[in-house]
Amino acid sequence: MRNLLNFLVKYNNLIIFLFLQGIAFYWLTTGNNYHNSVMVKSIQSVTRGVEQRISNLRAYLNLREINSDLAAENEALKNTIEKLAKKENHRLTPVSDSISRQQYTVTIAEVINNSVNRQKNYFTLNKGRRQGLAPDMAVTVSDKVAGVIAGCSENYSVAISLLNIDFRVSARIKTSGYFGSLNWNGYNPQYAVLNEIPQHISISVGDTVETTSYSAIFPEGTLIGTISDVKKSGSDFYKIEVELFTDFRKLRYVNVIGNLQKPEQQSLEKQFQ
Amino acid sequence: MINSILKYALIAAILILLQILLFNNIQFSGYINPYVYIMIILLLPSVIPSWLLLLISFFTGLIIDLFMGSPGMHASATLLAGFSRPYVLSVIAPRDGYEPGVELSMQTYGFRWFLVYASVIVFIHHLALFYLEVFRFTGFFRTLLRVVLSSAFTTAFILLAERYRKR
């Protein structure tokens, strides 16, 4: 007993260290799955309040830029309305039933916390389950890829950013149609890497890269970026550097896109796997 | 006593706010991510009981974790820095040892001593943090380069802040 006590007194430092380190590692290994632990959830509601305030301040400072972005988007939308209106006037075009065949839902959310300087970047949106958001919904900025929702609370969501070394998205080259997998390599927030494109295809710098609909997350043809550099890696595949369209450093208003037909597609696919 | 606790609390609050509001937004070619809040651990008095030092380190990291939404990696890295601090201090001790009432500052122990002290602790902290962040060994040397560059930046900031710290 005395020996035990002596041991405890002598190494109390190490024991506390190992104990606390154990807590940290437990969190580290289990907590990557966002918003799992109850403790984090309750405390983060406090930090969210602070984040919201900081975000409000930033929103005020960026008003001019946001204004011009909105004006540009408005213009584009008005043009589409014009085109659609013309189409409807045309008697012979078939009417597409937008209620029963609607595939995607769009929700606009504001980014209240964002980072680009880590290896695993996430951003927080100010809408959550109550507003109809759910994990695995796509996040885009005016038709350009931004990320995927990783977890939702009642009124907030956390999305895994494209700038996260764990993020992968199925992408293809628009001109040739060949697809591969795109991910960020952690270097520069403006570039990502497209892999698994075989070397017998001719690729030119400047080609557009867009998403496929294979994962049933992003709508087909959501823009990602343009090819800025092509390297031949040791294997049979190219290593293609893609300059991203989205500027993650000024992410503010994003569209959250849900795929209504995803359960159907996935349940069908499951039957054959 | 109360006075010095208040002083340390103020320093801690300022550093954490600086980290969250300013340094978390610094992006310099993906290689430099300074984490200056580690200065809190550097400045704690030399005679602090080791369990208290560990607890303070852990909770400092925890606060940063909660604000950055990262799971436990700052807590772990800061705890390691706090754990290694007594050993670092004993290795680089000046000839007369440390006086209990005197704070660990550049003024008392000189620029070279503080440079070695700060850079070693910052390097330990950043090393643990950056490898925990990527959590893999692919791109080992690139992560190492990030550790070295960010440590240099953080140390430079800490030296500057220490130079102009009042009192």
Spatial separation of the C-alpha atoms in residues A77 and A58, rounded to whole Å: 26
Interface of B with A in 35-94 (CB under 8 A): 50-51, 54-55, 58, 61, 66-73, 75-76, 79-80, 83
Residue A11 touches chain B, beta carbons under 8 Å: no
Which amino acid makes up residue B143?
T
B30–A186 C-beta distance less than 8 A: yes
Touching B: A residues 212-271, CB under 8 Å? 249
Minimum-distance CB partner of A44 among B29, B66, B83: B66
Classify A255 as helix, strand or coil. Answer: strand
Q: Where are chain B's structural domains?
A: 2-164
Distance from CA of A90 to the nearest CA of B (A): 53
pLDDT digits (tens, 9 = 90+) for B97-135: 787 777 788 888 888 899 999 999 999 999 999 888 887
Cβ–Cβ gap A54/B33 under 8 Å:
no
Over residues A235-246, the mean pLDDT reads 87
Is the Cβ pair A186, B24 closer than 8 Å? Answer: no
Fold classification of B2-164 is Arp2/3 complex 21 kDa subunit ARPC3 (1.10.1760)
Distances (CA, A) of A38 to A34, A35, A44, B59, B67: 11, 8, 10, 18, 16
What mean pLDDT comes out for the span B58-75? Answer: 86
For residue A41, is pLDDT > 70?
Answer: no
Q: Residue A147's closest CA among A128, A131, A132, A166?
A: A166
Q: What is the mean pLDDT of residues A149-171?
A: 88
At A240 the three-state DSSP class reads strand
Residues 6 or more apart whose Cβ sits within 8 Å of residue A8: A15
Highest mean pLDDT among A8-12, A139-143, B93-97: A139-143
pLDDT tens track for A49-92: 777 777 777 777 778 788 878 878 887 887 777 777 656 555 55
